[in-house]
Amino acid sequence: MDNTRTENIGTLVVLGATGDLTSRLLLPGLGRLLTEQPERRISLIGADVAPRDGRQWAEVVRAAFDSVDATGPAVEHTMAHTDYLVTDASSAEDLGQVLASATGIPALYFALPPGVTARAVRALHQHEIPEGTVLALEKPFGLDQAGAAELNRELTSLVPEDQVFRVDHFLGKSTVLNILGLRFANHLFEPLLHRDHVAKVEIVYDEILGLEDRAGYYDRAGAMVDMIQSHLLQVMALVTMDAPLSVHAADLRAAKTEALRAVRPFAGDPAAAGRRARYTAGTIGERRLPSYAEEEGVDPARGTETLAEVTLESATWRWAGVPFVLRSGKALGTARREIAITFRGVPHLPSGLDGAIPPTVLRIGLGPDAMTLELNVNGPGDPFVLDRSRLTAEFGTGRLNPYGEVLNGLLDRDPSLSIRGEAAEQAWGIIDQIRAAWQTGRVPLEEYPAGSDGPGRWASTG
Ligand code: BG6
């Protein structure tokens, strides 16, 4: 047993252990982490209402570890120190049992729907929380700005802010973290990331995936809450923030929070700043998708959007007036996942240079992980005719997957990759304004066939 990490977490408790998130993302993330860090010693408790025994749970854990080829002493230690507790997460008594079963400092991971998480947090108030306990919460963090503020109050009356992990797995993606290196470890781009040089920034995460049996969650969230309120606003904060003093938790989180404070609907007009649509029946590759409204578990009357686009601005000296278009949707024809920074056109082209001169674009791929700079050069053939050239770098995959990075921070009690309470409220504040405009009916819910690139009139700007 390695006792050198006594300040770290001793037991990871997963509340919502029988859910999809646990088997599909959390446990594989843990498996990768334990393989990379053979010295780590972690006990694991799975807790949920479903009746399971320790052996059945161990099989689930083993299958998830096997899915990422997890091996080594840390993996075997966890396998030998894992158990399942039948737990109603909203019952103070059950949570008391969970806390009593944990060895060392516990981390409680709420892999639960927001309503159940809120009840569990309330129930925890009836207990003495062990010193150092970490509470990790999945998105959505609350359901609006007021709800996030309330949840923040309840959490920080249980444990200090640094021990509340508001998880956003995008912050564990290696290309997202790469924004820091690209911006702050090169003199080339940073001076140009400024309103004088940038015409627009797009942060796009278009998926070909449809609902994937997640109607119960997704139909209440929609694309805006599922992707933009959390992930894409975090990416925007990394693109717009000023250089932090360090990339340690306090500085990095303060810089991101400050950046989010400046974000508002473009030109201060929440109705004009957002568009929404949902898919109708269509085909993606070989797959035929029914219309969203007819998917199992969907209530069409909710008017949930499966594609959302917002145009925001960072009201700062550096960025004022530059549109930031954030967009994400399901069941689209092309998986476009990138940050595209389009620079301004040249002020004057010397006569004699012929050809189209589209603006220079820097694309940071968010999967596959790559970076491309699109330039106009005197290309092959006639040297006086301009051609488009692309400088591309492909990045290897990160040492850990995004959930592995998230868990790494959690188990080390390093909140660098988690969202500060104030930032979560700010993100909701931005989105709530646009959603309020949607509720007045001023912004129609448009349609697009599954497998297309969105509603016809949203001509792609990529
Ligand atoms: C999740 C959303 O947070 O992120 C999903 O709930 C989405 O709807 C997913 O598909 C996208 O992230 P990744 O890393 O799985 O591509």
Q: What is the DSSP string of 378-441?
A: E-SSSTTBEEEEEEEEEPPPPSS-HHHHHHHHHHTT-GGGB--HHHHHHHHHHHHHHHHHHHTT
Whether the CB-CB separation of 212 and 284 falls below 8 Å is answered with no
Residues of each domain in the chain carrying CATH 3.40.50.720: 11-138
C-alpha 315/C-alpha 266 separation (Å) is: 9
Cα of 385 from ligand 1 centre, angstroms: 43
226 Cβ below 6 A of ligand 1: yes
206 Cβ below 6 A of ligand 1: no
Cα of 447 from ligand 1 centre, angstroms: 22
307-325 CB burial, b ≥16 within 10 A, e <16: bbbbbbbbebeebeebbbb
Single out the residue of 1, 101, 3 nearest to residue 47, CA to CA.
101
Q: Which residue has the least CA distance to atom 11 on ligand 1?
A: 227
Cα of 301 from ligand 1 centre, angstroms: 24
Q: What is the pTM of this model?
A: 0.95
134-137 and 105-110 strand pairing? parallel
* Residue 197: active-site member: no
Per-residue confidence (pLDDT) for residue 6, from 0 to 100:
45
Single out the residue of 311, 306, 310, 309 nearest to residue 329, CA to CA.
306
Per-residue confidence (pLDDT) for residue 378, from 0 to 100:
87
Report the atom number in ligand 1 closest to the C-alpha of 139.
3
The CATH code of the domain at 11-138 is: 3.40.50.720
Per-residue confidence (pLDDT) for residue 460, from 0 to 100:
53
The angle formed by the CA atoms of residues 234, 111 and 406, to the nearest 5 degrees, is 45
Cβ burial, residue 129 (10 Å; 0-12/13-18/19+): middle
The angle formed by the CA atoms of residues 198, 200 and 201, to the nearest 5 degrees, is 105
144 Cβ below 6 A of ligand 1: no
Whether the CB-CB separation of 231 and 337 falls below 8 Å is answered with no
Per-residue confidence (pLDDT) for residue 396, from 0 to 100:
78
Cα of 364 from ligand 1 centre, angstroms: 18
pLDDT in tens, the chain (462 residues): 333 334 789 999 999 999 999 999 999 999 999 999 999 999 999 999 999 999 999 999 999 999 999 999 999 999 999 999 999 999 999 999 999 999 999 999 999 988 899 999 999 999 999 999 999 999 999 999 999 999 999 999 999 999 999 999 999 998 898 899 999 999 999 999 999 999 999 999 999 999 988 999 999 999 999 999 999 999 999 999 999 999 999 999 999 999 999 999 999 999 999 999 999 999 999 999 999 999 999 999 999 999 999 999 999 999 999 999 999 999 999 999 999 999 999 999 888 888 888 999 999 999 888 999 999 998 778 888 899 999 999 987 778 999 999 999 999 999 999 999 999 999 999 999 999 999 998 999 999 999 999 998 887 544
Structure tokens at 458: 């949203």
Mutate to test the pocket of ligand 1, among 207, 218, 230, 307 (most ligand atoms within 8 A of CB): 207
Single out the residue of 60, 66, 97 nearest to residue 82, CA to CA.
60
Per-residue confidence (pLDDT) for residue 398, from 0 to 100:
79
Per-residue confidence (pLDDT) for residue 106, from 0 to 100:
97
Task: Indicate the SS3 state at residue 354.
Answer: strand
Q: Which residue has the least CA distance to atom 5 on ligand 1?
A: 226
Single out the residue of 327, 363, 355 nearest to residue 459, CA to CA.
327
- Fill in the DSSP letter of residue 302: G
- Determine which helix (DSSP H) or strand (DSSP E) holds 11, and give its type and residue range: strand 9-15
Residues of each domain in the chain carrying CATH 3.30.360.10: 171-397+419-449
Cα of 384 from ligand 1 centre, angstroms: 46
Per-residue confidence (pLDDT) for residue 368, from 0 to 100:
84
Q: Which of 125, 231, 248, 348 is catalytic?
A: 231
C-alpha 47/C-alpha 60 separation (Å) is: 13
The CATH code of the domain at 171-397+419-449 is: 3.30.360.10
Single out the residue of 327, 313, 139 nearest to residue 221, CA to CA.
139
Strands (E), 147-194: 164-166
If you count them, how many residues does the chain have? 462
Task: Indicate the SS3 state at residue 19.
Answer: coil
Q: Which residue has the least CA distance to atom 13 on ligand 1?
A: 170
Structure tokens at 266: 């473009």
Per-residue confidence (pLDDT) for residue 395, from 0 to 100:
85
Per-residue confidence (pLDDT) for residue 3, from 0 to 100:
38
C-alpha 18/C-alpha 91 separation (Å) is: 17
